Amino acid sequence: MKCLKCGRTIRQAKCPDCGFDYSRDSFLSVFSKKPSGQLSKPEDEGLLMAGLSAYEDRNYLKALDCFRDASAQGSSIAAFYLGRMYENGLGVDADINEAVSWYRNAAELKNSAAMTCLGNCYRYGRGVDKNADTARVWYEKAAEMDDYHAQFHLGELWEEGIGTEKNEKEALKWYKLAAEQNYSLAQDRTGAFYQVGKGVKTDYAEALKWYTKAAAQGDDLGALFIGILYEKGKGVEKDYTEALNWYRKAADRNNYLACFYIGRLYENGKGVDCDLKEAVKWYEQAAKLGYKAAARHIDRLRKSGKITDGEKKTNDRKK
């Protein structure tokens, strides 16, 4: 399927390019607040629920039939799902123009998720002419309905200066609104703004607070950034062992930087005994996950003669 945020074709729960997490952002969960334009008759509600059940079971042909019938009765949720299915080619040939039509249908029925997807289409030029101003309009409409994805995207527009001048304070405002709704990506961004002082005075304690909230949801970036704070001693006492603990949490979620940083700690004997073989193991894992710099570190160690395949050298350097 295609990532709804950046458009890349993905085959895993989390997009490797932009970080959009489908395990966190289930499209069944975005409708916790019932949108207007919904079905009133019990039998019509049954159509929608049958479609949602079939969709979750990946019985897309049945889901299509149910969603089409439910959308004909005014269901914004059904219209949204039809847009999603046409965009990603689920049970039908992929057709971004048809997807945009269904997103627009659902958005006009006040469906915030569809508004956000329509904003994405305008932002990236998928099925419509690329137009950052129109994207922002749709994000703002969704954000007014407390859609945390839309709030996050507005933060991105202001941070990156897309369709407007860069404004870090405005970006932080939107990131924080989404973070307060427990959206882990927004919590990461909010923490980062406080860590480096973007749009706000540097506050490591506040950064740690938001990173901890993200990490508590299984977010790899939150765990990575906490590890960095402990390794650098920013806002907390420098503690390589604690840094390693957080890096391991992020590495367990396939974060390549965390794997690389673990390798670096083993190479330099910080928080652990120096173990070059273990360092190479973690550098190799980082490289497998796509971090090219890790491969250069492996080559450097082997060319230096400090380590060869199957050889382990240690010393007593510790934290």
The contacts of residue 95 (CB under 8 Å, 6+ apart) are: 86
Identify the weakest region by mean pLDDT among 21-35, 42-56, 72-86, 117-131. 21-35
Position 304 scores a pLDDT of: 85
Report yes or no on 224 lying in a domain: no
Q: 179, 187 in Cβ contact below 8 A?
A: yes
Query: CATH code at 1?
Result: 1.25.40.10
Shared domain for 91 and 169, answered yes or no, is no
Closest by Cα among 27, 32, 35 to 55: 27
**pLDDT higher at 47 or 313:** 47
Position 266 scores a pLDDT of: 97
Shared domain for 158 and 119, answered yes or no, is no
Expressed as residue numbers, the domain containing 174 is 146-218
Q: 307, 280 in Cβ contact below 8 A?
A: yes
Q: Tell me: pLDDT of 1 over 90.
A: no
Q: Tell me: pLDDT of 229 over 90.
A: yes
Q: Tell me: pLDDT of 130 over 60.
A: yes
Q: What is the pTM of this model?
A: 0.81
Q: Tell me: pLDDT of 71 over 60.
A: yes
- 3-class secondary structure, 19: coil
Mean pLDDT of 94-101: 98
C-alpha dihedral (291, 195, 20, 253), degrees to nearest 10 = 50
Q: Tell me: pLDDT of 52 over 50.
A: yes
Identify the weakest region by mean pLDDT among 84-98, 202-216, 302-316. 302-316
Q: Tell me: pLDDT of 210 over 50.
A: yes
The contacts of residue 144 (CB under 8 Å, 6+ apart) are: none
Report yes or no on 228 lying in a domain: no
Per-residue pLDDT band for 308 (boundaries 50, 70, 90) equals low
**How many domains are contained in the chain?**
3
Shared domain for 84 and 198, answered yes or no, is no
Q: Tell me: pLDDT of 68 over 80.
A: yes
